[in-house]
Amino acid sequence: AQSVTQPDIHITVSEGASLELRCNYSYGATPYLFWYVQSPGQGLQLLLKYFSGDTLVQGIKGFEAEFKRSQSSFNLRKPSVHWSDAAEYFCAVGAQGGGTSYGKLTFGQGTILTVHP
Amino acid sequence: GAGVSQSPSNKVTEKGKDVELRCDPISGHTALYWYRQSLGQGLEFLIYFQGNSAPDKSGLPSDRFSAERTGGSVSTLTIQRTQQEDSAVYLCASSLSSTNEKLFFGSGTQLSVL
């Protein structure tokens, strides 16, 4: 069965500092990988996704993530954090092929990001 | 509306009662998903519907949980004989189709079972 681990429950950074949120997955083949963000009082929003090809993917709001097969990781990065980035971030993995829905995802437990001014 | 709408936004019920949670997906979206988010946990897949196909119920935790989707649009998630462990946020999402990976989530229903 596939699984996702986000080792950091809570991360605090200063505004303007760089950010890296960790995500490790377990899956038997090449997975589909996603990062979602959940801001207070709002629904989850897709930040970026990896399906195939270039292992460095760009997303919205200046975020990027790098797929590293050898490390089974898909870490999310941002070079300079803004106060509005404070939210909870979820990494998710989806199955490829076999008629499986692309929306049937396994999520990590989430990382809460706090941004200090 | 422009987004996925869920109602009620909050529901408090007593243990043993039945509850119904409603989801109104984005118009034209044929795929609809239900997820559960328990305190301190990630999202847990429950069920999804794609058009008129039989739903994928593989994530439903027990036979107390059921869902239906009428007319390919609105969906209702029903929990019978609620238990305290059912307390969670229930999230609905829709997408253009099951082969489209971009999910649009509603704001969820916070269910509290006393």
* Averaged pLDDT, A6-35: 93
More confident call, A2 vs A73:
A73
Cβ neighbours of A49 in B, within 8 Å: 101
DSSP A83: G
Residue B3 touches chain A, beta carbons under 8 Å: yes
Window B:6-35, CB contacts with A under 8 Å: 31, 33, 35
- For chain A positions 68-97, those within 8 Å of chain B (CB to CB) are 90, 92, 94
Q: Which residue has the tokens 């760089």?
A: A18
Instruction: Give chain B positions within 8 Å (CB) of A110.
Output: 42
Q: Are B7 and B75 in contact (CB under 8 A)?
A: no
**pLDDT attached to residue A27:** 82
pLDDT of residue A29: 75
- For residue B63, the one-letter residue type is D
**CB-based contact, B75 to chain A, within 8 Å:** no
Which of A10-14, A42-46, B19-23 is predicted least confidently?
A: A42-46
Preceding peptide of B8 cis, ω within 30°: yes
Mean pLDDT of A27-51: 88
CA atoms of A64 and B25, how far apart (whole Å): 29
What is the DSSP secondary structure assignment for residue A28, as one 8-state letter? S
Instruction: Give the gap in angstroms from C-alpha B16 to the nearest C-alpha of chain A.
Output: 29
Does A98 score more than 60 pLDDT? Answer: no
Closest CA to A5 of A73, A70, A78, A87: A73
Of A35, A17, A45, give the one whose Cα is nearest residue A73.
Answer: A35
Phi-psi sector, A16: left (phi>0), alpha (psi -120 to 50), beta: left
Q: Indicate if the pLDDT at residue A79 is higher than 90.
A: yes
A43/B contact by beta carbon, under 8 A: yes
Which chain B residues are Cβ-neighbours of A106 within 8 angstroms?
A: 45
Q: Which two tokens stand for residue A74?
A: 């898909």
Task: Report the pLDDT value the prediction gives residue B89, as an integer from 0 to 100.
Answer: 95
Q: Are B103 and A46 in contact (CB under 8 A)?
A: yes
CB contact under 8 A, B44 and A107: yes
Q: Would the pLDDT of A30 be above 80?
A: no
Chain A residues inside the 8 Å CB shell of B4: 43
Give the residue-averaged pLDDT of A39-57: 89
For chain A, say whether B107 makes contact (Cβ under 8 Å). yes
Q: What is the pLDDT of residue B84?
A: 96
A110 vs B: CB within 8 A: yes
Q: How far is CA B54 from the centre of its chain?
A: 16
Residues above pLDDT 70, as percent of chain A: 96
Residue A95 reports pLDDT greater than 90: no
Task: Supply φ then ψ for residue A2, to 5 degrees.
Answer: -80, 155
Give the pLDDT band of residue A24 (cuts 50, 70, 90): very high
Element (H, E) at A32: strand A32-38
CA distance B74 to chain A (A): 18
Q: How many helices (H) and strands (E) does chain B have?
A: 0, 10
Provide the pLDDT for residue A41.
76
A31 close contact with B: CB closer than 8 A? no
Query: Block means of pLDDT (10 residues each) for chain B, length 114 residues?
Result: 89 97 94 92 90 90 95 93 96 87 91 96
